[in-house]
């Protein structure tokens, strides 16, 4: 339990510190993306910054809404989906790369507990975490340190990010006047519901 908890807290603290140290970077990224003179430039900038969300304090929610507004529902959703998925895969890779270093500080029992925990609850955690900033990046990293197969991580991350991207893309295209708090609530509730349904059907081998 200690291994899983400490690694998770380490990730969360590191991400929060990044946001605090580079506080102005969020505004700069938003302004820079909006300065794109063509749709191609905007698309490349948005995709690039979303892909770096694991390392930088990228305002991902705002960028995904802008994608829907500027690029339209379908293309905006696809750009957001691709960028955020790349970011999660990068976080997973970083976790796998750091795993040997964490092994030096924790016992084999702690590692076994972490692996068993992710076997039971990892799929659900990966899927639902995509709706929550900081938690999404942290869970991706922690999953890389546990015995989570790459294909499993890719599947649940792709589903989770697709849901988020579609919701933000729709809101950016058709509902720009909605309050940001309502947007967040809709996404969190939607992710939990869809996550439960996906988990249920996969367990019963219906899909």
What are the residue boundaries of the structural domains of the chain, listed by start? Answer: 2-203
User: Which tokens go with 4?
Assistant: 């899983």
pLDDT band at 134 (very low <50, low <70, confident <90, very high): confident
Q: Is the pLDDT of residue 186 over 70?
A: no
CA dihedral 144, 145, 146, 149 (to 10 degrees): 30
pLDDT band at 207 (very low <50, low <70, confident <90, very high): very low
Across 10-19, 41-50, 139-148, 191-200, least confident range: 191-200
pLDDT band at 201 (very low <50, low <70, confident <90, very high): low
Angle, CA 130 vertex, CA 50 and CA 67 arms, to 5°: 40
Q: Which of the residue ranges 123-127, 146-150, 154-158, 184-188 has the most confident prediction, judged by mean pLDDT? A: 154-158
pLDDT more than 90, % of the chain: 18
CA dihedral 38, 180, 139, 195 (to 10 degrees): -100
Residues 6+ apart with CB under 8 A from 29: 49, 56, 58, 59, 63
pTM above 0.85, yes or no: no
Average pLDDT over residues 55-60: 78
Instruction: Calculate the alpha carbon distances from 32 to 7, 46, 50, 62 in Å.
Output: 33, 9, 13, 13
């Amino acid at each position: 339990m200690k291994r899983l908890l400490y690694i998770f807290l380490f990730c969360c603290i590191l991400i929060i510190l990044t946001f605090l140290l580079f506080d102005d970077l969020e505004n700069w990224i938003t302004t820079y993306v909006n300065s794109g003179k063509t749709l191609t430039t905007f698309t490349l900038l948005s995709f690039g910054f979303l892909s770096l969300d694991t390392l930088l304090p990228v305002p991902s929610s705002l960028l995904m809404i802008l994608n829907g507004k500027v690029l339209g529902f379908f293309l905006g959703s696809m750009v957001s989906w691709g960028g955020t998925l790349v970011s999660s895969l990068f976080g997973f890779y970083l976790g796998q790369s750091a795993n040997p270093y964490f092994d030096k500080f924790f016992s084999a029992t702690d590692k076994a507990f972490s692996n068993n925990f992710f076997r039971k609850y990892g799929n659900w955690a990966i899927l639902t975490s995509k709706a929550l900033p900081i938690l999404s990046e942290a869970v991706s990293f922690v999953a890389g340190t546990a015995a989570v197969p790459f294909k499993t991580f890719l599947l649940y991350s792709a589903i989770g990010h697709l849901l988020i991207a579609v919701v933000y893309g729709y809101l950016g295209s058709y509902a720009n006047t909605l309050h940001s708090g309502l947007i967040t609530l809709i996404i969190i509730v939607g992710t939990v519901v869809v996550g439960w349904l996906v988990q249920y059907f996969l367990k019963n081998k219906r899909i």
